[in-house]
Structures are given as structure tokens and as C-alpha cells.
């Protein structure tokens, strides 16, 4: 029986820069930052203080599980900005949008009304895009005709 | 990679500021730190279409959204998504979707109720700009 989602992977170009971005700009906390042995893999995870059982692992493409050519392809896709890394939620989209923007986070879309809530889009420092959403209270607004 | 990153920054400018009729290739190329000619080539290598085509498609895609959801006229939508000529807008729209903006709206509109009050759509897309050639504030005339 699957109990839930614990860790999700975000491919980043540089772990030091990513750590700075996810903590100082987004306000997430570092859960783990350790290197496996001399010159081994660095395991770096972050998460929201509000959600102790879920974290993102900020991984650099490569290592034993990924050949250099594939790693290069992943880096290229991230840099091109075509990969989405997930949805982060907030209970104050307008306030947080302003706060993150003032910290220099690169937004692609200001908060807009959607059937599921109010949503903005931003990128991390590597180029991954995130949805940043305040979910609609009561779930999907089905009174509207959202037929798109 | 640096080149790819700079192409992304340029693409993000178009994704963010598509509604600005002043947004032109030189502005976008400047964000990438390239001359116009080299920029067009580099962008096409990265994204498979020229920046001009990308911006047009982005605007058409936004127009589709507004036609489906906002109670605004075709002319208003044309200006909101950054086109200055309704003729050009309709031609490009038809080339991309196979339908004129009016046909598209007729085909896709739901059960009559617009999703988004026109004034909100206006505000999102950069407020109530003056229509080219009129010099006066436009208003959709719709209560938001």
C-alpha cells in the first residue's frame, strides 16, 4: 500500500546556486545536505516548513545513473526552460507574489484566476518553471462554464 | 549553455510582455545580448521557430483564450494581445487556427456565460490602453 509522496526530483545546473535560490528566495528549508564519500554524490533536499514529510531533491544531471550525453540533454532542456518542476501552493498568492518578485524571482505570469485557484508562474535559477497557486476554496469552481 | 540560457531569457520576455505592442525584435534581441540577425538564427536553433513566429503564436494563443472566455469584442482582443491592425490579426489568427476570430468564438464559446468579466481581462493584459489612432481611453463598456 503506497502511503504517499516523500521526495520529488528537480534537475538543477548548480547545487550551491540552487540551494541559495530555494532557501533565500523561496523560503524553503534545507532538510539534508551531505556528500556521499570523497568526491561522491551530493544529496541536497529542501522542503516547506509547513510540510515535513515532503521534500524536493535538487540533483545535478549525471552520476552513475546517467551517461554524459543524457546529462547534457537534461541540462539543455532545463536551460531552454521547457521543463516544469511542479506546483507550489500558498495561502496568500498576492502577498507572496510580491515578496518573491521583490527578491528577484523571475515570474512568467502574474497571478491569474483559474478554475482551480489563483495561479502565477515563475522559474528557478536553472530554468525549471513552477506553478505557484493559491487553491480555490471549495475546489474546482464548477458553477462557471470552463469549457476550453 | 550560456547561449541557451540567453535564448530562454529572450523567450521569457515574449511570454511575459506579449501584450505590449511596442515589443519588437530589437527589444527582445537586446535581452539576449545579441544582434538582431544572430539572435534570429540562434533562437530558431533553440526553439524551432523564429522569435517573430514565436511571438505571433503566443499572441494568437492568448487571443484564443480571450475569445473563449472574455466578453470583449474581436477588435478589443486584437489590441489587447499586442496587434495594432485588426486585418493583420484576423489573417494571422486564421492562418494559425483555420478559423477567423469570430468563427472561433462561435465554435468554442460555452453556454453563453463569459468566464471572465471583460474588465478583468483588460487589467491583466496591461490595462486600458488607448487604441491606435484614437488617442482616447477605451473601455469595454462591460461592468466587471
A148 and B120 within 8 Å at the Cβ level: the answer is: no
In this structure, whether the domain defined by B3-53 belongs to CATH 3.40.1080.10 is answered with no
Considering CB atoms only, which of B1, B15, B108 is closest to A79? B1
Q: Which of A88-97, A109-118, B58-67 has the highest mean pLDDT?
A: A88-97
B92 closest CA partner among B127, B61, B46, B131: B61
Domains of chain A: 7-135 (3.10.180.10)
B8 and A107 within 8 Å at the Cβ level: the answer is: no
Classify domain B56-125 at the CATH class level. Answer: mainly alpha
Q: Where are the domains of chain B?
A: 3-53, 56-125
Considering CB atoms only, which of A108, A145, A148 is closest to B12? A108
Asked if pLDDT for residue B4 goes beyond 50, the answer is yes
For residue B108, the distance in angstroms to the closest alpha carbon of chain A comes to 7
Per-residue pLDDT band for B71 (boundaries 50, 70, 90) equals: confident
CB contact at 8 A, B125 and B81: yes
pLDDT score for A146: 53
pLDDT score for B139: 36
CB contact at 8 A, A135 and A89: yes
A81 and B12 within 8 Å at the Cβ level: the answer is: yes
Of the two residues A134 and A113, the one the predictor is more confident about is A134
Contacts of A147 in chain B (CB under 8 A): 68, 108, 110-111
Considering CB atoms only, which of B5, B111, B120 is closest to A127? B5
**Rounded average pLDDT over B9-30:** 88
Contacts of A127 in chain B (CB under 8 A): 5, 8
Mean pLDDT, chain A, rounded, equals: 92
pLDDT score for A73: 96
**Rounded average pLDDT over B119-142:** 44
Report the alpha-carbon distance of residue A22 to residue A33 in Å, rounded. Answer: 13
A145 and B12 within 8 Å at the Cβ level: the answer is: no
**Rounded average pLDDT over A83-94:** 96
**Rounded average pLDDT over A88-107:** 96
pTM of the model: 0.77
pLDDT score for A38: 79
Asked if pLDDT for residue B109 goes beyond 90, the answer is no
Q: How far is CA A64 from CA A33, A135, B2, B89, in A?
A: 19, 39, 25, 52
Same fold, B3-53 and B56-125: yes
What are the CB-based long-range contacts (under 8 Å, 24+) for B128-136?
B129/B21, B129/B79, B131/B75, B131/B79, B132/B21, B132/B79, B132/B84
Asked if pLDDT for residue A90 goes beyond 90, the answer is yes
Q: Which of A98-102, A106-110, B7-11, B41-45 has the highest mean pLDDT?
A: A98-102
Angle at A104 between CA A98 and CA A110, to 5 degrees: 45
The residue of chain B with its CA nearest to that of A81 is B8
Amino acid at each position: 500500500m503506497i502511503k504517499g509522496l516523500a521526495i520529488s526530483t528537480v534537475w538543477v545546473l548548480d547545487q550551491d546556486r540552487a540551494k541559495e535560490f530555494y532557501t533565500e528566495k523561496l523560503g524553503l528549508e534545507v532538510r539534508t545536505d551531505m556528500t556521499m564519500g570523497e568526491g561522491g554524490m551530493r544529496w541536497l533536499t529542501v522542503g516547506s516548513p509547513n510540510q515535513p514529510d515532503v521534500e524536493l531533491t535538487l540533483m545535478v544531471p549525471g552520476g552513475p545513473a546517467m551517461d554524459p550525453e543524457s546529462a547534457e540533454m537534461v541540462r539543455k532542456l532545463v536551460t531552454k526552460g521547457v521543463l516544469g518542476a511542479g506546483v507550489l501552493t500558498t495561502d496568500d498568492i498576492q502577498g507572496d507574489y510580491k515578496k518573491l518578485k521583490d527578491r528577484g524571482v523571475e515570474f512568467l505570469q502574474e497571478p491569474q484566476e483559474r478554475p482551480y485557484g489563483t495561479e502565477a508562474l515563475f522559474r528557478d535559477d536553472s530554468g525549471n518553471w513552477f506553478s505557484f497557486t493559491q487553491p480555490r476554496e471549495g475546489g474546482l469552481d464548477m458553477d462557471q462554464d470552463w469549457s476550453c | 549553455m550560456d547561449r541557451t540560457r540567453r535564448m530562454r531569457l529572450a523567450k521569457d520576455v515574449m511570454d511575459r510582455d506579449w501584450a505590449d505592442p511596442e515589443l519588437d525584435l530589437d527589444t527582445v534581441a537586446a535581452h539576449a545580448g545579441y544582434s538582431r540577425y544572430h539572435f534570429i538564427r540562434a533562437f530558431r536553433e533553440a526553439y524551432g521557430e523564429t522569435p517573430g513566429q514565436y511571438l505571433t503564436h503566443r499572441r494568437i494563443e492568448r487571443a484564443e483564450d480571450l475569445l473563449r472566455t472574455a466578453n470583449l469584442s474581436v477588435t478589443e482582443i486584437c489590441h489587447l494581445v499586442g496587434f495594432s491592425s485588426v486585418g493583420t490579426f484576423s489573417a494571422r489568427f486564421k492562418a494559425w487556427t483555420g478559423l477567423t476570430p469570430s468563427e472561433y468564438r462561435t465554435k468554442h464559446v460555452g453556454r453563453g456565460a463569459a468566464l471572465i468579466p471583460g474588465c478583468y481581462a483588460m487589467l491583466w493584459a496591461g490595462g486600458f490602453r488607448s487604441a491606435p489612432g484614437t488617442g482616447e481611453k477605451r473601455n469595454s463598456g462591460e461592468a466587471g
